[in-house]
Homo-oligomer: A and B are copies of this chain.
Amino acid sequence: MDISAYMADVGQKARAAATAVARSSTAERNDALLAMADALDASRDALTQANRQDLEAGRENGLEPAMLDRLELTPARIDAMIEGLRQVASLPDPIGEITGMSYRPSGIQVGKMRVPLGVIGIIYESRPNVTVEAASLCLKSGNATVLRGGSESLHSNQAIAACIAEGLRKVGLPEEAVQVIKTRDREAVGKLIAMPEYVDVIVPRGGKGLIERISRDARVPVIKHLDGVCHVYVDSHADPEKALAIAVNAKTQRYGTCNTMETLLVDAEIAADILPLLARAFEEKGVELRGCDRTRDILANVASATEDDWHAEYLAPILAVRVVDGLDAAIAHINRYSSQHTDAIVTENYTRARRFLTEVDSSSVMVNASTRFADGFEYGLGAEIGISTDKLHARGPVGLEGLTSQKYVVFGDGHIRS
């Protein structure tokens, strides 16, 4: 197979389909999503069979149990894909919204119209349900999409792609509006991220290694989500009950998510009072603490934190703890070690809360709330394609709006510039 020619063909078809999708009505796109849901529902056997092929090959190739688990399309996961499509169909259409129309002294009227980005490339790893999730969000926002899933889920993804194509066909939208790459060849990824003429943006979803590689090599803009080294700072003016509840929730509500707290900062003024309470709560949850020297002066049994611990995204029941001298030291630590994902302060002090909000340069900054809230659904975006740790375009949880752009529209009545 000539990968260059194949990907150029995919790209061309995507570009052509993008024009058709951009012109389609809200109802057409929603109907396509509902028709995809119906097609998935009617194809449960085919999906399960294709998935079984992937699972068998995975076992033969010695895939780890965790990978095999993510790969599996259980009946419940098929239900979730179907339900997801119906939910996306029910979201408001972001496309076409015109805002800010106002008259200028010259007499022209100027505003902005929300429009699709065009063609979105999504690169992801093992979970085949991402195929449906990514395709539905891109279509809803008026874009064409090229999907490249994990090579271990190729059969499952192709079976899902057949249902997506059926849905598009039913409403008369071009099937090429959603293309799932048919080859396992890694060269296809290299091509996909280097075709600015056909692809407008790449959204990689997966481990840090994948995302770093893609960001480095891409010739197309990337909406990327690197790591989540999130902090909670317990200020000396914190309400101890809130501090305890937030710290425990931010760390233990789920360990493996990017908005989980990885480092706890405690103001020296209250460290001796609150650290023992926090330590007890974390012990009950089975969380291992790694502390700075001042933490260990208070908590005798805590292991010593090294420089690496301040940088660590554990994604595990481990927590780094540091005693800091007040707000300035806390902000300095966060702006140095945070991955600029989500950071929170616990305080009752108005001025400190305001300073933390202004001076911490992260995509989500919180006062008296758990970092675990940093999520597209919790923020009311209705959907989430990922969480961006970039500053340009989309920052923080990315919903449908992050897959759109705004162009200027100008209304005149024969106006000319003088």
Residues of A within 8 A of B (CB): 19, 22-23, 96, 102, 104, 106, 108, 110, 113, 115, 117-118, 200-201, 216, 219, 221, 239, 241-242, 245-246, 248-250, 253, 335, 344, 357-359, 361-370, 372-374, 378-380, 390-393, 395-397, 405-418
Contacts and interface: CB of A to CB of B under 8 A. Distances in A.
Given A363-B407, A410-B364, A370 B415 contact: yes
B23 A370 contact: no
Contacts of A367: 409-412
B396 A22 contact: no
A118 B361 contact: yes
The listed residue with most B CB atoms (<10 A of its CB), out of A253, A365, A415, is: A415
Given A358-B96, A362-B407, A245 B416 contact: yes
Given A22-B361, A239-B414, 10 more contacts: A19-B361, A104-B378, A118-B391, A245-B414, A249-B417, A369-B410, A369-B411, A392-B393, A392-B405, A395-B408
A221 B110 contact: no
B118 A417 contact: no
B416 A380 contact: no
A150 B361 CA distance: 33
A292 to B, nearest CB: 23
A109 to B, nearest CB: 9
A402 B137 CA distance: 26
A408 B357 CA distance: 10
17 contacts: A22-B358, A23-B359, A96-B358, A106-B378, A108-B369, A108-B373, A110-B378, A117-B391, A221-B392, A241-B414, A253-B418, A365-B409, A368-B415, A369-B410, A369-B411, A369-B416, A374-B408
Copies in the complex: 2
Nearest to A118: B391
B242 A408 contact: no
A364 B410 CA distance: 7
A219 B221 CA distance: 11
A19 B328 CA distance: 13
Nearest to A19: B335
A402 B116 CA distance: 19
Contacts of A416: 245-246, 248-250, 253, 369-370, 372
A106 B408 CA distance: 36
The listed residue with most B CB atoms (<10 A of its CB), out of A117, A241, A358, A418, is: A358
A363 B113 contact: no
Contacts of A248: 416
A11 B366 CA distance: 29
A253 B411 contact: no
Given A23-B358, A335-B19, A416-B372, A201 B392 contact: yes
A339 to B, nearest CB: 13
Contacts of A358: 22-23, 96, 113
A19 B242 CA distance: 30
Contacts of A102: 380
A157 to B, nearest CB: 27
A225 to B, nearest CB: 14
Contact of A364 (B118, B364, B407): B407
A414 B364 contact: no
A216 B22 CA distance: 28
Given A358-B96, A392-B392, A392-B393, A410 B373 contact: yes
Contacts of A366: 409-412
A406 B414 contact: no
Contacts of A369: 108, 410-412, 414-416
A415 B104 contact: no
A187 to B, nearest CB: 21
Nearest to A367: B411
